[in-house]
Structure 1
Amino acid sequence: MKSIHKLNFENFNWLDVKSPSEAQFSEIAKEFNLEIYAVKDSLEPGHLPKIEKIKDFNFVILRAYTAKETDNISTVEELSNKVAFFYNDNQLITIHRTPFPFLENLSKSDRKYDSVYDLLIIIFKQIVLTYSSPSQWQTDQIDEVEKTIFLKSDAKISLEDLYFQKAETRISKKLLVLSQNVINQIVVPEKNQTALQDVKDNLVKLILEYDESLENANNLMNTYLSVTAQKNNDVMKLLTIFSAFFLPLTFIAGIYGMNFDFMPELRWKYGYLYVIIFMIILCIIIYSWFKRKRIL
């Protein structure tokens, strides 16, 4: 649904635009003396966070976390959606394709803002905080997988899920680092610096959390592969041990199963008993050797 919401404050105006049409693009660019390509660029899906100066406006793009926690994500576009900002001391324009609850709540609120930077910093903070809940969810998921690997030996773990979990954590950290680079370049009046610093502190906190989650995800994947390899080695070891016992016995049985007329052992009265006793002794010798080599 396309919508344009205008709010007029005492010292500035806010224009919030959702999914504008081509005609609306042109109207916005003409009304505020913006480059039409910059306005259209604000809705291109693949752009990463950035900041630049366009005529009388500062142009900022930030991406908010919009994916569901249970989705399998491997790209930036699947994990997040962007909000584009054009702002100066008298005007704030936000352009986005996806509806964001925090923008709708702010546009419907009766709160008054002294300057464009008061509102701008609040929006920045809300965008950054969209990464907070997924960060905790990622940590909980890693803990659950870790418990499954080490405490539930019979439980099945999907390597695909581990991959997507690692990918989501890596992409989230990348976006937060790029957002931090953008926020660090934003200049605000002195009275807004404390609020902006709070946004920066939240970014640092989340980057550290995702960095830890990414490291844990890498370690967990390596551990899972190691545990799986160990289980395969245990199976191969067991099969090798069985083979070590049965190969010589099969060899003996094969010899005495040959259809030759002149095999004197076949006519011994206790030949069968001798062969069985020999097989038992051979198994005991093999077992003793394995025990001495600490294979069993």
Structure 2
Amino acid sequence: MRKIKYKKGRKLQPYNLEYTGIHKKTDSEIQLFVYDDLNFAEFADFNVSDLKKHINTQKTNWLNIHGLNDLDFLKSISDYFKIDNFMLADILNTTRRTKIEEQHDILFFNIKSLLPAGDTDNISAEQISFLIKDGVLISFQEKRSDYFTHIRERIRTHSGIVRTKKSDYLLYILLDAIMENFYITLESEEDNIEELIDQTKNSTDPIILEKIEKHRDNFNFLKRAIIPLRDSLYDIKSIKDDDVFNVIEAENFTFFARLHQKSLELLEQIESDMSSLHSASDYYFSAQSHKMNEIMKTLTIVSAIFIPLTFIVGVYGMNFDYMPELRYEHGYYTVVGGMVLIVLGMIYYFKRRRWF
């Protein structure tokens, strides 16, 4: 999990662009889909100067960009679409929280995509940003991934209603695809919780507590990603001002309301899972306390049994001259037998009282 760190003296101006992510060696790639209900065209590996030739403002255009390391390339995209440097800086700064913003004729939306990081307990995060301007939706991804593969196939095969809709509906299905990653991550975390709960029932190994705290951090990380997304979707869902979010058609606001509902469901499930994780933590400490109590009970019983034996040994260890039983022929066997009877009697008493 990456944390935001403040570096003293580091003051970047909007015109000083810097990619802050971890995919420093990813080359920038470009892909363009141009479609409507009747026609479809796909372009890849072309120069920014060819955008004017390929983009058709009478149709829906999806410009997908992989890799944010080539600043010159991104600056040329920004110059072509007249994207404000503040927005471009937000695209490159991967520590920014999710937000929606409208400036002039551009709608900006960025979101964190979270997925389990392989076989580890970590969560990988990628920031994906979207811009809509003049019927063109531009998506910026830090690296090549398969989040939108099924959407590309739907466009190519004219499956569903995506080809009959504009760029605002395309934004909806792209956001929906990213939110599916939250469900995948949450399901993975829930499987880990079930495994941890089983482990706490069979072991009190301290490594279990470390894993519990790790997954608690993961859930907090998920919450920090989903809460601003929920707020941004609520802004779209509840908007009533015709001068705001003009790029979203009125009939499509209901789709974003569905995404808002999904974000609420995710947060509710996270709260439930965190309660389960808290229960696992409580069970772990209860098991440790129970184990310690059993040890202390055993030691107490052993101590209680040896107290009278110690007393007897102490009495006969005194150096008095006149102790008549010391000269008794069967004194040793009598004392030992009495000690055995005391031990058996105490064990029988403890058993009757169910002390062990």
Superposed displacement of residue 117, structure 1: 0.6
Q: Distance in 2 between matches of 1:195 and 1:134?
A: 23
Residue 237 of structure 1 is matched in structure 2 by 297
- In the alignment, the residues of structure 1 paired with residue 322 and residue 228 of structure 2 have an alpha-carbon distance, to the nearest angstrom, of 85
Q: Once the 2 structures are TM-superposed, how far is the Cα of residue 115 of structure 1 from its aligned partner?
A: 0.9
Partner of 1:277: 337
CA distance in 2, matches of 1:82, 1:15: 17
Distance 1:139 1:7 in 2: 37
Q: Give the counterpart of 1:131 among 162, 182, 185.
A: 182
Query: For residues 48-59 of structure 1, what are the structure 2 equivalents within 5 Å?
Result: 48-59=97-108
Deviation at 1:202, TM superposition (A): 2.4
CA distance in 1, matches of 2:300, 2:118: 45
Q: Distance in 1 between matches of 2:152 and 2:29?
A: 12
Shift of 1:52: 2.1
Aligned to 1:19: 67
Partners of 1:250 and 1:219 in 2: CA distance: 45
State which drifts further: 134-143 or 260-269: 260-269
Match of 1:97? Answer: 142
Alignment partners' CA distance in 2, 1:254 and 1:115:
97
Q: Which residue in the other structure is 1:210 paired with?
A: 270
- Cα offset for 1:113? 5.1
Q: Which residue number corresponds to residue 3 of structure 2?
A: none
Please say if 1:68 is aligned against 2:120. Answer: no
Query: 2:53 matched to 1:8?
Result: no
User: Residue 291 of structure 1: CA displacement?
Assistant: 5.3
Structure 1 counterpart of 2:332, one-letter code: Y
CA apart distance, 1:133: 2.3
Distance in 1 of aligned mates of 2:204 and 2:118 = 22
Residue 146 of structure 1 pairs with residue 222 of structure 2: no
Matched, 1:115 2:166: yes
Amino acid at match of 1:140: D
Equivalents in 2 of 1:40, 1:251: separation in Å?
A: 83
Equivalent residue, structure 1, for 2:228: 178
Cα contact 2:28–2:67 (8 A) shared by 1? yes
- Secondary structure, counterpart of 2:101 in structure 1: strand
**Aligned equivalents of 1:229, 1:89: Cα separation in 2:** 65
Summarize deviations over 1:234-267 as a string: whole Å, max 9, x none: 1111111112212442454356457x58473443
Give the drift of 1:91.
Answer: 2.2
TM-score by length of 2: 0.71
State the number of aligned residues: 289
Question: What is the CA–CA distance in structure 2 between the aligned matches of 1:63 and 1:87, rounded to whole Å?
Answer: 18
After superposition, the Cα gap between the structure-2 partners of 1:191 and 1:263, relative to the gap in structure 1 and judged at 3 Å, is farther
| Alpha-carbon displacement from aligned partner over 1:127-161 (angstroms, at most 9, x marks no partner) | 111111232333333334334445xx468672222
100-109 vs 51-60, which deviates more?
100-109
Q: Paired residue for 2:281?
A: 221
Structure 1 residues 79 and 46: alpha-carbon distance in aligned structure 2, compared to 1, 3 A threshold: same
Q: 1:227 to 1:155 in 2, by over 3 A?
A: closer
Structure 2 distance, partners of 1:69, 1:241, is 50
Question: Aligned equivalents of 1:291 and 1:261: distance in 2?
Answer: 38
Question: Distance in 2 between the 1:28 and 1:267 partners?
Answer: 110
Structure 1 unaligned runs (5+)?
none
Which moved further from structure 2: 58-67 or 35-44?
35-44
Q: How far did 1:36 drift?
A: 2.5
Distance 1:113 1:95, change over 3 A: farther
Aligned to 2:256: 196
Confirm or deny: 8 A CA contact 1:88 1:116 kept in the other structure. Answer: no
What amino acid sits opposite 2:300 in the alignment? T
Does structure 1 conserve the Cα–Cα contact (< 8 Å) formed by 2:200 and 2:208? no
Measure how far apart 1:107 and its partner are: 4.6
CA offsets 1:191-210 (integer angstroms, 9 cap, x no match): 21332233223223222222
Please give the TM-score of this superposition, normalised by the length of structure 1. 0.84
Question: Whole-Å Cα distance in 2 between the matches of residues 243 and 283 of structure 1?
Answer: 11
Q: Tell me by how many angstroms 1:279 deviates.
A: 1.7
Q: Percent identity?
A: 22
Residue deviations 1:54-108 (CA, integer Å, cap 9, x gap): 34312211111223364223xxxx4421101122352212112132312355456
Name the counterpart of 2:4.
none
For 2:292 and 2:215, how far apart are their aligned partners in 1?
25
1:163 aligns to what?
Answer: 213
Q: Over aligned residues, Cα RMSD in angstroms?
A: 2.8
Relative to total residues, which structure has the larger helix share, 1 or 2? 1
Residue 292 of structure 1: how far off its partner (Å):
6.9
